[in-house]
Structure 1
Amino acid sequence: MTITRRTLLKAAAIAPAAAAAPALITPAAAAPQGPTPVLHQFTLGDARITALLDGHLAIKPEFFTGYDAAKAEAALAGSLYRENAKGLEIPVNGYLVEQGGEYTLIDTGTAQLMGPDLGALPAALAAAGVTPEQITTVLLTHIHPDHSGGLLTPDGRAAFANAELAVAAAEWDYWHDEAVLAAVPEESRGFFQTARSSVAPYANRLKLLTGEAEAASGLSAVPLPGHTPGHTGFMLDAGSEALLFWGDVVHSAALQFAEPDWTIPFDVDQALAAQTRRQMFDRAAADDLLVVGMHLDFPGLGKVLRAGKGFRFHQAPWQFGL
């Protein structure tokens, strides 16, 4: 099944608040001549990281569970965030880690699943001078189409012919559980079939992660449940420095740092997703931790700072680490 915006939003029915979704999230305006490669490279310790932009989505603030118009206005006040007719634009990012002569890709973008304004990650990877065949490991934060869609070529083959796929066992089990599939509405089952199809070519080179296991050389898993049951971050040990790839802890930097309890219908367990986000914000702020996120403003690199009862994100300078 090819996921369009319509079918993707129907799939939100797996979460309690999904009925409000269809009018509230849309792809941003498409580039006139196909995806343009956008990337940013920086070094950290003994690793070189390349941020790869897949494209953008637009989300209306009222899409968030817990939305309050006055609080949203306060969160946006004084910032450069602007809501257009389609909402607030958020990026879809992936990350390439080069360390010890090996290439690890963390999330793969959407490929052709979500419209012409997304799917630019392969072009960004090529612009970085890296071929899919050079990727030794693909790490998935979770199996949503904006993270796993790029695992496949348009004809359904493995896009990364030589790569091991690593994903949390809890995540794999959730999307392959027949009882879960049977319990979701009929119109949402295609979401599960797409998840299964995206990972199927990697079944004979699959690494299932439990707890804080080693995911790849220099990278360990950090369980961050809530958005999905096996949603996972990855901590990079770069020798003298560390970096956390935290996946979808945040979907809207414009709103969720100020309002950490706001969730989205795609959070399978919304209460747990909010709890995980607060815990990660607390940890990142207390430990002065450098983080990147798949929906933080590209290139998504920075630190979490406390701001009154909430938090704010301090974006690293563009040339960080070069």
Structure 2
Amino acid sequence: MDVTVLCDAVAVFPEPVETALPGWSAEHQEWTAANLPGNVAADGGWLLHFHCYLVTSERGAVLVDTGIGPAGSDAAQWLGTAGRLPTLLAAAGVGADDIDTVILTHVHLDHAGWNTTESGRPRFANATYVVQQAELDHLGDGPAYERYLKPIAAAGQLRAMRGSGALGDLRLLLTPGHTPGHQCVVTAVAILGGDVLVHPAQARWPELVYVYERDPAVAVTSRRDVLALAAATGLPLAAAHPHTALTGTASAQDLSNLHCRLGQR
């Protein structure tokens, strides 16, 4: 199995970090700057990376999340930058039609932006798009479903999972809190964590909540559970926005160059 990090975009979070992460302190800032400086902008703000993950094996090609999307997409307008996922896939030698499965950790604008083409059809025409039923229940027939999933469902390419379970040689973990149907993907190489944590300091302080978590208390529990799994298995936690992968202990020694462990196994 091989896991390739595809950084769709990098942008400074539009709000001050202390607004986005209530309880943010000088200690959090100093720890992040000392241990993970790739997450700190030049002006001290919060620098986000928008990662998708390509998982390839003899079973085929799986894409975890689809990033912020092209210029003009909701996320691109919010962040002031466009995504580049199709170019990154091409550089990896993978075309849109080669993707067998798209797993969405959750349906937010910066994780589902390349789901469809400009004409409104599924961008990954041969793929099954996998989400949690709890996420669909949460979305209902609202604007996010309309924009990001309705064309997929209309094409017969949408699959709903009911809780944790195996998906080929991967395992999906229901990790609610950020959204009701948030899920992580466990591979032989890494745990692909979506937004189970959005800032690396949350690996050191799991109780540090994010203002846009749907249920902060549940999100803290999910975060602790996934960090414990990372510590128990030795697998790095590769979330969507931190610059590098994390472990359950989140010590400076553990964090150094962990991104190099994302590769073949």
Which TM-score applies when normalising by structure 2? 0.85
Per the alignment, residue 66 of structure 1 pairs with 22
**CA shift at 1:159, angstroms?**
0.6
- Whether the 8 Å contact between 2:132 and 2:181 is mirrored in structure 1 is yes
Q: Distance in 1 between matches of 2:48 and 2:12?
A: 6
Q: 2:165 aligns with which of 213, 220, 242?
A: 213
1:160-179 matched pairs, under 5 angstroms: 160-176=124-140
Per the alignment, residue 232 of structure 1 pairs with 183
- Whether the 8 Å contact between 2:102 and 2:127 is mirrored in structure 1 is yes
Q: Distance in 1 between matches of 2:55 and 2:25?
A: 39
Per the alignment, residue 275 of structure 1 pairs with 221
Q: Distance in 2 between matches of 1:206 and 1:160?
A: 12
CA 1:103–1:80 in 2, change beyond 3 Å: closer, same or farther? closer
Q: Distance in 1 between matches of 2:7 and 2:250?
A: 28
Per the alignment, residue 199 of structure 1 pairs with 149
Match of 1:174, SS state, is: helix
Q: Distance in 2 between matches of 1:193 and 1:104?
A: 26
Per the alignment, residue 205 of structure 2 pairs with 259
Q: Which runs of 5+ in 1 are unaligned?
A: 1-46, 178-191
CA 1:228–1:87 in 2, change beyond 3 Å: closer, same or farther? same
Q: Deviations over 1:185-215 (max 9, x none)?
A: xxxxxxx413432111221122110122233
Per the alignment, residue 197 of structure 2 pairs with 250
- Whether the 8 Å contact between 1:107 and 1:140 is mirrored in structure 2 is yes
Larger Rg: 1 or 2?
1
Per the alignment, residue 258 of structure 2 pairs with 316
Q: Distance in 1 between matches of 2:107 and 2:90?
A: 23
Q: Distance in 2 between matches of 1:84 and 1:102?
A: 40
One-letter amino acid matched to 1:105: L
Which TM-score applies when normalising by structure 1? 0.71
- Whether the 8 Å contact between 1:225 and 1:232 is mirrored in structure 2 is yes
- Whether the 8 Å contact between 1:246 and 1:292 is mirrored in structure 2 is yes
Q: Distance in 2 between matches of 1:233 and 1:73?
A: 27
Q: Distance in 2 between matches of 1:76 and 1:137?
A: 34
The structure carrying a bigger strand percent of its residues is: 1
CA 1:176–1:315 in 2, change beyond 3 Å: closer, same or farther? farther
One-letter amino acid matched to 1:205: Q
CA 1:119–1:168 in 2, change beyond 3 Å: closer, same or farther? same
Q: Over the residues paired in the alignment, what is the CA RMSD in angstroms?
A: 2.5
Q: Distance in 2 between matches of 1:211 and 1:80?
A: 33
Per the alignment, residue 55 of structure 2 pairs with 97
Residue 50 in 1 paired to residue 8 in 2?
no
Match of 2:247, SS state, is: strand
CA 1:76–1:107 in 2, change beyond 3 Å: closer, same or farther? closer
**CA shift at 1:74, angstroms?**
3.8
One-letter amino acid matched to 2:215: D
**CA shift at 1:232, angstroms?**
0.2
Percent sequence identity is 29
CA 1:73–1:111 in 2, change beyond 3 Å: closer, same or farther? closer
**CA shift at 1:315, angstroms?**
3.9
Q: 1:289 aligns with which of 232, 235, 239?
A: 235
**CA shift at 1:161, angstroms?**
0.9
One-letter amino acid matched to 1:248: D
Q: Distance in 2 between matches of 1:77 and 1:197?
A: 37
Structure 1, 138-147 or 68-77: larger mean CA deviation = 68-77
One-letter amino acid matched to 2:157: R
Q: Distance in 1 between matches of 2:85 and 2:68?
A: 8
- Runs of 4+ more than 6 Å apart: none
**CA shift at 1:86, angstroms?**
7.3
Match of 1:147, SS state, is: coil
**CA shift at 1:83, angstroms?**
3.9
The count of corresponding residues between Structure 1 and Structure 2 is 252
One-letter amino acid matched to 2:81: D
